[in-house]
Structures are given as C-alpha cells and as structure tokens.
Amino acid sequence: MKPKNLFPLGLIFTFLLLVFILPGKDKDEGELTTNQDRACTVIMVGKKASVDGSTMATHTCDCGICDWTFRYVPAADHKPGETRKIYHINQYKTWPPEQGLKGDLYKQDFTGLEIPEPPRTYAYIHGMFGYINENQVAIGESTIGTHRKLVNNTPSAKFDITMLTLIAMERARTAREAIKIMGSLAEKYGYGYNDDGEMLCVHDPNEVWVFEIMPVGPLWKPDSGKPGAVWCAQRVPDDHVSVCPNESRIGEINLKNPDYFMASSNVISFAIEQGLYDPKSGKPFNWKKAYSPVEGSARSTEGRRARMWRFFDLVAPSQKFSPDTPNMDYPFSVKPDRPISIQDVMAMTRDRAQGTIFDRVKGLRGGPFLNPNYYGPTRTICDPRAEYTTITQCRGWLPNPIGGLVWIAYGVQDTSCYLPFYAGITDMPDSFKIGDHWVFNRDSARWAFDYVDFHVQVAYSYGLEEVKKAQAKWEGEALARTKEIDDRALRLYQESPVKAAEFLTAYCLNNAKNVVDAWWKLGDDLLVKFNHLKLYNVEKRTMDRNQPAYPEWWRKAIRIFDVIFEESVK
C-alpha cells in the first residue's frame, strides 16, 4: 500500500471504530451493580414547585424486554387471622402469552412467608410496580445499584422491590406511612432476592419523598436479630424539584430532623461494619457515597450519565449547571426557575438533549432524517426501550379518588400519547391487560404505539411531525378536559361516590379506546404516506417524487465518504 493512502484508511478505521465499537462499551462501573441497560428516570415535583399545587413523579420504565401490562386491584375487607402471601416478583421476567398474565403467574414463586392482613386493604393500579392507590399515595421507581458484596439473592430475603410497592399500595394512607411500611417489612423479613439498590419516589398530595433501599449481603438470616435491609428517605422541599436517573440521590442526612429524613436503625452502623464509612475520617456520613457511589460527569462519560445534568439544565437554566460537574456533586433538589406544569413534565420525558453538546442527531449521527435512535452514547430521558411511562399526579384540593391521576404513555415517549387514569376508577382497559414483546397482537394497546413508532423510524423527522399533530389532538384534549371531568366527577361524588367511580371509569376507558384506535390508524397512515421513502398524498392521490428525499447535506457527506473510501483501497 502506498504511504499516501494510509491517512484516508486511518480515517475510515477511526470512523468504523467510533460507529461500531466504542458506543457499545461502557466504562467500568467498579464493584457496583448498576445496570445502565435497565434504566428508569424519576422526575419529582413538589406541590409549591408545580403550576397547580399538585405533586408529580414519573417512572420511565426503560427496560426493553419487560412486561407492560396493567391491572386494577380492588379494595378488600379482611377478617381477623387472614394473611397475605408474599411472592418474589422479578421486574424483568415475562411468560409467553399462552401461559397467562404475569400478574397471575408470579404467584407461582411463593416465598413461604405470609403476613397478617389489616382490616382493610386499599384499591390501586399497578404495572411493573404499584403506582397509585385510592388514597393518592403514588410511586415512581429507578434502579440505583449498590456494592456487589451487599447483594442478597438468597431465599432469606423475602421481599423484592415490586412486592414492597404492592404492599405499600394496599396499606398506606400517606407517603410517610408507605415508607415506614416498606422499610419495616424489609428490615424484618429481608430485602433483595431479585433486586439490589433501588430508589422509589413516594408521594401524596402534600409531600414528595426519595426512598432508597439496599440489601445487607447474602449471609443475613432472619433470626440474626439484625435488620435485613438498610434504607434511607429524604423529603423533597415543597418548592423544589428533583430527579433520579439511576443514581443514588441522598447525601448527608440529619436524622434529628424527622420532617425531612427517615432511615433504618442501621443506616450508619452497617456502613461502618462493611468498611463503607470511617467515622474517624472527620467527614460527615454521606448515604450515596457510602452505599452507591458513582464516578463521572455528563461530559466525562460521553453523555452516558447526562440525564442528571440535563434535568437541572432544563428546570433551572439560570444556575448554569456545568456538564463537567461530577454527578455526585449535584444538589439533592433545586428550586425551578418557574413553576412546573404537567405538560412540562410530559415534555421532559420526551427530551433528547436537543441542541446541547449531547444531541444525538448532530453531525451525521441522526442520518438524513435526524433520527436520534441511530447512534450516540448519550443516554437521554426519552429512551426507545421504554415499556411505558407513568406520571403520577396527586391533587389535594379534590377528594382522593378524583385528585389522584396516573398518566400512562405506552412505548417510547416521543411517539406515544399520555392517557389519564383516575385513582378512583374500578377497572383498566382490556387492551392494557395483555401483550408481549415477542407476539404481535392487535388487541394489545402497547402494540398500537409500537406500530406507530416503527413507521416513524423510516423517515423520523417527517414522521414525528405527524405524531405531534396526533398528540396535540388527543393528549391536548385530555389535558384541556381535566378540569371539566374533575368538576363533573366532584358533583357526582357529593351525591354518590359509586356514581363518581362509574363516571370516571367510563371516561378513562372510553378515552383510552379512542386513542388506541387513533394510533392504529396513525400507523396505517404513516405506512401509506412514507411508503418507498416517497411522500404520498392520499387526498390528492399524488406522489411527490422529491420528498421525503435525502437532504443535500447528506448527499454531500456520502460523496465525501466515497472519495475517502475509494482512495483508501487503491
């Protein structure tokens, strides 16, 4: 090979290295169990930080292989002596549809533990986790990981995170009560098995809390007299917002201030015992540095840990947070530059770091149609692996069955639509109760949204505009009608809570059916409109031979690459 050809060949090799090799390699996470492939973002908004006085929290269920079904669990009265069976529930396990629904089949994994039932358990809605109950106690989840030596996947750990959330839904009247219930059960009966370090946002109409829990290692035994978990909780100030992007958020704690902190009795002693904190160091105890430390910043991880920076940049741009700030140094929460609305939260879940140094479509990364799913190490809040996203909203000025809302968007957020479900409903749509990643099913709501997303990928920049029109119609109408639905439900509630529940259930189920039908049609329309990468006008029965064409900048990039490639092989 002639020397003059080595430089172009080096460019080709560098290009291939960057495109095909480096993006797939994550930096060593050390001895932590955090798995960035199974990652969820929790955005939290205090009541005085929101536009309308509601508290809000998200759960972007970013798994890619998990169960996406939802179900409603009714309230129940229990006789003295009745018990509640405790099951192991793996977040990631699914079964073929012909075998049944996950909500039924997980009961095959009975732990052998039964705990006393309270006189009454509350109604709630759950998917992968319990999300909201009839008392407006709501939850969002994010895996944060911990030291590998603390993992306890032995049968001694009777509770994992999903089971804890279900029990909290069944028994809690407030967020504080939910935290105490989960913490005490985990301490008494052991936590772990399927899970390790986990964060839950637990909120009600008045308070928003970050609850983080870790197992205590595989040697723990119930008869040891020691807690079977270590946990800590910190309250988000009412006029603040916060985020958990799969990273522990609680730093220094002050247990003398119970209005803002709660913890297990071993929160510091266990860290000392495990060599995770040295009281002789002169440094104050820091929960996240002890139990789930994370190295790096948004920039140093090439955007893999950019969600922390991006959130603070979105809600408080006046503070000019730097992408070079180590993630462990960000504040627990911040006062936003302006009050946050439910629409703002929806927009944040669709954020792709547009216009920033971590933009996934800058340069050639997005291809000719600016598709953020093609290339780039940046982990944005909006992620194509999302099973669904929940936004739980608690509104204290209304009776609990009306004040509580969970907005659900199936699939990836940018091509989906948020659907409202009130805490007081008595059923979920049949199409929300079924579905599987590996079996296409037109009776499953999730597939309607995946169907649209699949066709958007063909010509993303054009297809997304069509989706935005549909979102403006269906999502916009639901948001605009919320006050009307609230008022009508309130009038019925004052007459009869049963009538209010019937009304809300009918509204939510009918709205969901209409939107799911609209998304199936949208998918069909996208297939026709962008067929063969041309623009077909159905009304005029014409085809534009130039659109959607590859843009000229893309054609130039291809020609430049061709020249380099041809020179390299001479």
Q: Are strands 419-422 and 405-410 parallel, antiparallel or unpaired?
A: antiparallel
Token digits for 151?
A: 């993992």
Task: Provide the sign of the torsion angle of the four alpha carbons 367, 418, 131, 394, taken in this order.
Answer: positive
At 2, which amino acid appears? K
Question: 554 in a domain, yes or no?
Answer: yes
- The ranges of the chain with pLDDT < 70 are 1-31, 34-38
SS percent in the chain: helix, strand, coil, step 5: 40, 20, 45
Question: 417 in a domain, yes or no?
Answer: no
Q: Based on the domain organization, do 108 and 16 belong to the same domain?
A: no
Q: Based on the domain organization, do 304 and 219 belong to the same domain?
A: yes
Q: Based on the domain organization, do 11 and 82 belong to the same domain?
A: no
Which residues, 6 or more positions from 247, have their beta carbon under 8 angstroms from its beta carbon?
34, 144, 288, 292, 294, 305, 308, 327
Q: What are phi and psi of 138, to 5 degrees?
A: -130, 160
Question: 25 in a domain, yes or no?
Answer: no
Task: With both helix axes pointing from N to C terminus, report the angle between 342-349 and 460-495 in degrees, rounded to the nearest 10.
Answer: 150
Question: 84 in a domain, yes or no?
Answer: yes
Nearest CA among 409, 433, 387 for reference residue 97: 433
Question: 448 in a domain, yes or no?
Answer: no
Q: Based on the domain organization, do 16 and 43 belong to the same domain?
A: no
Q: Based on the domain organization, do 12 and 69 belong to the same domain?
A: no
Question: 450 in a domain, yes or no?
Answer: no
Instruction: Give the number of C-alpha atoms closer than 13 A to the C-alpha of residue 308, restricted to the C-beta side.
Output: 27
Token digits for 412?
A: 């990836």
For 243-279, how does the pLDDT look when each residue is reduced to its tens digit (9 = 90+)?
999 999 999 999 999 999 999 999 999 999 999 999 9
Tell me the whole-structure pTM to 2 decimals: 0.93
CB atoms within 10 A of CB 486: 18
Question: 538 in a domain, yes or no?
Answer: yes
3-state secondary structure 456-480: HHHHHHHHHHHHHHHHHHHHHHHHH
Residue 461 to residues 156, 349, 494, 530, 549: CA-CA distances in angstroms? 52, 19, 48, 12, 12
Q: Based on the domain organization, do 15 and 104 belong to the same domain?
A: no
Give 77-144 as a DSSP string. Answer: E--TT-EEEEE---TT----GGG--HHHHGGGSEEEEEEEPPSEE--EEESSSEEEETT--EEEEEE-
What is the number of domains present in the chain? Answer: 2
Q: Based on the domain organization, do 385 and 332 belong to the same domain?
A: yes
Q: Based on the domain organization, do 264 and 161 belong to the same domain?
A: yes
Domain housing 541: 3-20+534-568
Q: Based on the domain organization, do 112 and 71 belong to the same domain?
A: yes
* Consecutive H or E run containing 348: helix 342-349
- pLDDT (0 to 100) of residue 15: 46
Question: 496 in a domain, yes or no?
Answer: no
Place of tokens 């105490």: 180
What residues pair up with 245 in beta bridges, in sequence order?
none
* Consecutive H or E run containing 243: strand 241-244
Q: Based on the domain organization, do 66 and 10 belong to the same domain?
A: no
Q: Based on the domain organization, do 54 and 200 belong to the same domain?
A: yes
Round to whole Å and give the CA distance between 177 and 389: 25
Q: Based on the domain organization, do 42 and 16 belong to the same domain?
A: no
